[in-house]
Amino acid sequence: MSNLLTAAHPIAWIAAISLLVTVAILRARRYLLRYRFKKQHGCQAPQSAVWTKDILLGLDGMWESFQAIRNHHMLELFQRRFAERGDTWVAASLLRRKLFTIDPENLRSMLSTNVNDWFLDRDEATWRFIGPGVFTTDGAAWSHSRALLRPNFVQDKIAHLDMFERHFQNFLTHIPHDGATVDLQPLFFQFTIDAATEFLFGKSTSSLKPGADRTYYEANFDQAWATAADHCRWQIAAAPFKFREGAEVKRAVDLIHAYADKFVHQILKERRESEKTRRNGGSEKRDTSNGRYSFAQELAKSTDDALQIRHELLNIFAAGRDTTASMLSNMFVELAKRPDVWAKLQSEIAVLNGAPPTLEQMRSFRYVHYCMNESLRLWHVVPLNYRKAFRDTYLPRGGGSDGQSPIFMPKGTTVTYSSFAMHRRKAAFGEDADTFRPERWEGWNPSCAFQPFGIGQRICLGQKYALNEVGYLMIRILQEFKKIESRQPLPWTETSGLVLSSLHGTKVSLTPA
């Protein structure tokens, strides 16, 4: 060793020393800058010390989380952690510090007022099955997607009640009319896939339609989606470690892409043809099965990039399909146990006299909306979400001994928030926060403490579509069946898929009206 040192050339020495000095200066500079930044914003040390016993790697916390995922009570675990440690706390995770918060002020800062200091990096490899689009990207790419899609989400382009009615009629054919037990959950998933594919691609997978003539892709899209989404969820749980994509997942992803591409190419071809006819003096033909443009056709007016259209459609599908299906399954688990709520809903919609509702009528049913809000409060379908600090920044709460002072967030820090825990805070919702009580919404608005569709610039694009779909299906089921009973003795239990759903399905018995 000493030989090596004395043998080193003086220039090597000088280089090594100047490197060290430079690093030291940069460090000192950053320290000073941060010191000034913290002072300027009144940042205090975090309210609670790092809570993991392993303060470097946080392996104990990770192990506890892993066990909870396996045993289907991860959300309860998070709820307990927040109850024990306060609204904002720090955990170690593989040599880094992660912040966890359910303080509405922090969310407001991160998602809305100070949004430029934060970003969302949904890992590209993890989300390969849908590709880069409005849901997975950030920055300029995201702005571009969002601007492209937004005009297509105005009410008149998404209010497809006649379409929901058609799929509802197919849905009905799967419900026994003799009160035999039926699991509504898979039917809700089929309903939402049939509706979403029609809405987005212009042609439904028709999975609920008896004897429908379906192509190979249509018949297998659902299963392929489930396989790819499941792989994605494990990638997220295992991050930063990666699984290899097995042959089955590869096949599923290929099928999803082929399914979407078939529509995209068809639509682009039609567009080119109609442009040609127009140039030759002919009139444009509106060709869709029901005289309405599909979402894909609308998109094809603004771009002819086939890959981009595919990605955007799949991004919307990912954000919109399992979410509404899960919301319905979670809500009906509860409704089946609540004859009091069922009766109130029945009496509210009795004015329809059995006729399908219009949009205006749907809007007027307050109790239906209370139930939807209460369901999204207790079983929010996006129960955990996160952002990362894009630069050195701060959050308004979580510092100082009372947790009411700002807290410094070094660049790169991940902040995870749990709407499951936030929506069950006793401070905001009262002692009965864990109970389904739609009446709490009467003349009441919890403002920021309740945010089922997010807040700020990335707020859900499909909020109206989702509430139309869920509300319509609820009302139609209420009209067709006078009674519902639970056929599941076990309590509701979470599945930690990409979205929050019911592990034991939605097993009920329905009595025709």
Neighbours of 223 (CB within 10 A): 11
Neighbours of 250 (CB within 10 A): 15
Site for ligand HEM in 345-384 (CB under 6 A): 376, 381-382
| Minimum gap (Å) between residue 227 Cβ and ligand HEM | 22
Residue ranges in 239-365 assigned as alpha helix (H): 247-279, 295-302, 306-335, 339-349, 359-364
C-alpha distances out from residue 263 to 218, 260, 309, 465, Å: 12, 6, 10, 22
Interface residue with ligand NAG among 366, 391, 426, 482 (CB under 6 A) is 366
Q: Which residue is nearest to ligand HEM (CB)?
A: 462
Interface residue with ligand NAG among 100, 129, 201, 370 (CB under 6 A) is 370
445 is an interface residue for ligand NAG by CB under 6 A: yes
Residue 445: contacted member of ligand HEM, ligand NAG, none (CB under 5 to 8 Å, by partner type): ligand NAG
324 is an interface residue for ligand HEM by CB under 6 A: yes
191 is an interface residue for ligand NAG by CB under 6 A: no
Q: By CB neighbour count within 10 A (0-12 exposed, 13-18 middle, 19+ buried), where does 77 fall?
A: middle
Q: Are strands 414-418 and 96-101 parallel, antiparallel or unpaired?
A: parallel
Asked whether 116 and 390 are in contact (CB, 8 A), the reply is yes
Asked whether 466 and 460 are in contact (CB, 8 A), the reply is yes
Query: Which candidate, 430, 188, 441, places its Cα nearest to that of 330?
Result: 188
Site string for ligand HEM, 277-316 (x = CB under 6 A): ---------------------------------------x
| Minimum gap (Å) between residue 508 Cβ and ligand HEM | 20
Query: Which candidate, 502, 509, 457, 459, places its Cα nearest to that of 482?
Result: 509
Q: Which stretch binds ligand HEM (CB under 6 A): 254-262, 263-271, 322-330, 342-350?
A: 322-330
Interface residue with ligand NAG among 221, 441, 465, 472 (CB under 6 A) is 441
Q: DSSP assignment, residue 284?
A: P
Interface residue with ligand HEM among 311, 458, 476, 507 (CB under 6 A) is 458
The two tokens of residue 269 are: 């071809």
Instruction: Consult the annotation and say whether 448 binds a ligand.
Output: no
Interface residue with ligand HEM among 34, 72, 146, 344 (CB under 6 A) is 146
| Minimum gap (Å) between residue 175 Cβ and ligand NAG | 28
Number of residues that make up the chain: 513
Query: Which candidate, 350, 474, 349, 387, places its Cα nearest to that of 120?
Result: 387
The two tokens of residue 421 are: 């825990």
Residue with Cβ nearer ligand HEM (217 or 386): 386
Q: By CB neighbour count within 10 A (0-12 exposed, 13-18 middle, 19+ buried), where does 437 fall?
A: middle
Query: Which candidate, 467, 468, 473, places its Cα nearest to that of 168?
Result: 473
| Minimum gap (Å) between residue 137 Cβ and ligand HEM | 8
Q: Quote the CA–CA distance of 24 and 6 in Å, as a whole number.
A: 25
373 is an interface residue for ligand NAG by CB under 6 A: yes
104 is an interface residue for ligand HEM by CB under 6 A: no
Residue 343 is which amino acid?
Answer: A
Site for ligand HEM in 3-62 (CB under 6 A): none
Interface residue with ligand HEM among 191, 465, 472, 481 (CB under 6 A) is 465
385 is an interface residue for ligand HEM by CB under 6 A: yes
367 is an interface residue for ligand NAG by CB under 6 A: no
Q: Which stretch binds ligand HEM (CB under 6 A): 59-67, 241-249, 299-307, 317-325?
A: 317-325
Q: Quote the CA–CA distance of 128 and 145 in Å, as a whole number.
A: 17
420 is an interface residue for ligand NAG by CB under 6 A: no
Binding site, residues? Answer: 460
Binding residues for heme: 460
Q: Footprint of ligand NAG on this chain (CB under 6 A)?
A: 366, 369-370, 373, 441, 445, 450
Interface with ligand HEM (CB under 6 A): 134-135, 146, 316, 319-320, 323-324, 327, 376, 381-382, 385, 452-454, 458, 460-462, 465-466
